[in-house]
Structure formats: structure tokens, C-alpha cells
Chains A and B, each alone.
Chain A
Amino acid sequence: MSLLELDDVEVRYGSVRATHGISLRVEEAETVALVGSNGAGKSSTLKAIMGMAPVARGGVRLDGVPLNGLRPSQVVRRGVGYSPEGRRVFPMLSVLDNLRTGAFTLPRARFTARLEQVYAYFPRLKERPGQLAGSLSGGEQQMLAIARALMSCPRLFLLDEPSLGLAPVIVQRIGELITEIQRSEGLAVILAEQNALWAMRLAQRTAVIDLGRIQLEGPSEQLRHNEDVRRAYLGT
């Protein structure tokens, strides 16, 4: 049994079908890149796992237990962390309050210890706990969005477009952080990205999604060196 199993998941917004039956397995402590162009259905897939998108067909299971019908806050409680596309930190709250909002499912007694662990990954956040999140730079906001989701001690971490709109040096730094966090927490990660080559370097396995379907899947190394894949899906 895999940590996460998606079986034939169809996300439907009214008459718009965002995914046409996604099936995917994620094992413990594994990073999977979900790559594809804009509108391919990456965000919808992550939202289906979180219970944020209407699932018309198919099922999502965590540890073999169905997540269908749960509210997003209950999915978090089961051990899934979510860093949304566009960061969406709470702009009018301080850095520290943003981190607190990520810890509502954590027993209170564990908050301080967890905060120190998360601060250790992100020393720049530790330096400015009182600053309003809205006044942080784009890269800092992305780090805060990741840190906020980590506060709940997830086992599965869904990361939606963490490289979007950031300068190359920052993207590289975020990549290093994702790897470091993944290793030291033993996290399973799904990294949804348009920046396919970057995401594939961070992930052991890659699934290429297009038109709401997973078109091919395999070890990232293999796909990266496959000329047909590069031409058809990676735009190189």
C-alpha cells in the first residue's frame, strides 16, 4: 500500500472538466514531480487531494483510508500539508502569526519545539517574526508559505508552483531547501511545477500531465534524457 493513492480522479467545475481521471501513487519519503504547462490540471489534482476541488469521480486514499468528503482542515489533520500556488500568505498577519495559523492541528504543547525546527530551515523568517507577511519579498513569502504548511508536521507535502515568479538564485535556494526538508523530515512531496527541468532535478519520479491526464510517468533521470519527452512536453 502506498502512502497516497489517486484512482481515476476527475475534477469538475460545473461543466469544466479540469482533470479526466488522474491515477497516481506516492510512496513514503519520496518526491514526485507533477509537471505540465499552464492549465494542464496540476493545481486541480493537488486540490482534489486537499478536498478543495469538486471531485466528480474516482478516489483519493491516504494510508489506504479514503479522503473523499473530508473538509480541507480534516485532510490537514490526517497529515497532509499544502503550500498553494501564488503563496497566499496572510498579508495582514505577522510572520509569526502566519506560522501559528499552520499549527492549529498541532497539539499546543508541541508548538514551540516545532517552531524552532521550522525556523532552523528558514533563518530569514526567524529574524523577522513581527514583520507583516504582505511586506516580505516574493522569495520570503514563498518560504513563509512552505514554513506555514510545515508547522502541522505533515507526512505528505503538496507544493504548488514554488518557483513561480522568482529570480533564478532564489529558485535554486528554494530547491535546496525542499531537498533538505524532505530528507530530514522523511517527507513525501508532490511538487507541481511548470518549471519542469528544475522540478525533475529535485524529484526521484516524474509524472507529466497534459490536458487533464497523466501522459507518462517514470524515474526523473530517464524522462529527462528522453528526446521525445523533452520535445513534446518539456519545451526544450
Chain B
Amino acid sequence: MDRTIQKEVVVIGSGMAGLMATVVLQELGKDVTLLANGMGSLAHFSGTVDLLGSEEFMSPWSGIGNLRDTERQHPYTSVTDEEISKALEIYQEVLGKYGIEYVTLGSNVFLPTAIGTRKPSYLVPKTMLPQGKDYTVVDFTQFRDWKGSLIHKGLREHYHGLELCSIELPHVKSLTLDAVSLARYFEKAEWRKEFISILRKQKLKGSLLMPAVLGIRGHEEIVAELEAALGHQVIEVPTLPPSAPGRRVYEAFMQRLKPNIEILYNNRVLGIEEGLKLRVSRPGRQWCYGAKSVIWAGGGLLGGGLVPAKDGLRDTVLGITITEGWQAGSQPIKGLYIAGSQLGYYDWPLEKSGAGVALSTGYKAAMLAGGGYYE
């Protein structure tokens, strides 16, 4: 029972930071094992990679520079601009191979949101970048997580002459239809035909703003087909979770990793001891792994790596309570590297830095654990 299986590098967590770290380790030619346990926040992630955003500046890079001077514990103090860029490059490449093209203008862009505000982001899927002069919001009457009138009302201020049209989706009866289920409808060619013929009867102007439900697999082809048939550009706008774009990201990374890497699904780590011994449970049994180095990327409250405790946040694997997350660079056990939203001293929803921090710290942890730096 107490058999320990020895591994070289183990990554715990198949959210954004863990997946990034695993790809980097694979690139470094390491013998890496990924303990996967669901998508974490990728189930919610909108697909647009934020670095740092505010109404006050357009370049996230200058904002990050300022942060490093003023907030000495911020996770961005543990990575350089070059490391952030490298992480984004790898991300872009992984998603590109899966068939999702990402673009950046080198500064932030303001994207329309599903409540009719705008949000700054940095690296975005081409299908989410608003282009053109005129726009029409397309509302689906049976889809309650995308409210055309609300979006239209708010965005009118930013997009002059914004129009609104509302259509009934073919065959959709569920009262609780969510974005991911709707994305599955869009993956069916027959259904799309009916959808297109309904939408064609509408008066449409300029680019069409639709919820981010345009398929998970084959997303870009689906959008291209809609654009060709309708004669209008189609722009996806992220909406309430669960998120189809987040699932695309998960699939893209998995597609990249599966052929080359040992992935153990449904493995929950129960604890890590000194000497990097991992106690792991998977349905029906418990297991022990040993490793030379470990990357722990369990996510924050939403990923399950941290849980609320009486006087702070408790790390579910290390069993330690910390006030607001780990400080970047800390190594509570030798050979253990922590990455992603388990880090504290930043507020990603406020700063708009979620994916930026997860990807860059995941990258950095892998470089350190895999000996990617030679000093």
C-alpha cells in the first residue's frame, strides 16, 4: 500500500498555470507528470488574456513597471518583461496549433462586455476583436445568460449607431440553457444552417456581436462559415460562465500535452511532505509519489488550492494557513514551486491581471524547476 512511485518533475493542477508549466517542462525535455483534477478556473475563463488594465493607461507594460516599484510583493515582481512575453508567445503558439489565432496590438484594447461596459485586455482571440464602424447586437430569446437589450443600452455610448436584433434559436427548449451547451448546438452543421436562415431574415448592420458560444471544437471554421453565409463580420463577446472559450484553452493545452506527457486524471493531492513525498488519492485508492521537484498550481478559492479559514486562507495541500495567499518565490518545502492564483498580494479582478499572472508565474516556476536557467 505504501509503495512510492518515483517521478522526476510533478505538476499539480491542470488549470492555466499548471498547463503552462507542463508545456514549458516538456519543451525543456523533462520527464514530467501532470496530476490533473479538472479545469479549475478555465471553466470560467473568458479567453482574453489580461496583463494589467485600467482606464488610466493603455500599455500594460508601463503599468507593470510601476507596479514593481510600488507593490514589492506583487507576483509580477518575480518575473521580468521578457519572461512574461515568452509565456504569452508559448500560449499563442499552443492555441494557434489548436486553431485559435490570438492577436495583440502591443497595448490594451477595450473589448465589449455582456453587460454593456468595456474591459481592457491584452492578448485576445481574433474572433473577439471588435473591428469596423457599425455593429449589431444579436440577442437569442431563449438564452438568458446574454441579454441583448442590456448590452445594447450600455454600448450605445461607445459604438455609434449600434443596432439590436433578437432571434429565436431553432429547437432550443431548455429553461436552463448555458453557454457551453449552446456551443454544442453551434458545432452541428445542420443546426447552423437553420440558425443562418433565421438570422438572414433580420436587418443586420456592420459587425455582429454574439455571445462566446460559437462552438468549442472547430470554433474558427464555424465563425468563418457564419461570416461567409451572412456577409457580416462576427465578433464573440464573453458572457456568464460556464465558458466556451475557457474550454477551448483547456482542450488546446491537452491536445499539445497528451501525446508526449504522462497525465494522470482525477488525481487529488492530499498532502506533501518534506523530501517531496506526495500523498495522492484517486477514485478508490491512495497512492504515493516522490519527485525531484514539484510545481504546485492549485489555484485560489476558485481552483480549490486555497479554502477560507478562520484567520486567512488555508492551503489545502500544505495545510498551512496564510493571510492572503503565497508570496511569489516562496518555497515552503525545498524543491516546491508555487504558481498561479494561489499567489497573494494581487487582486486580479480589480487589476485585470488574471491570465497574465497565471501564465507568467507558471512559466517561471517551470523554468526554475526544470533547470531552464544556467547560472
Q: Do A and B bind each other?
A: no
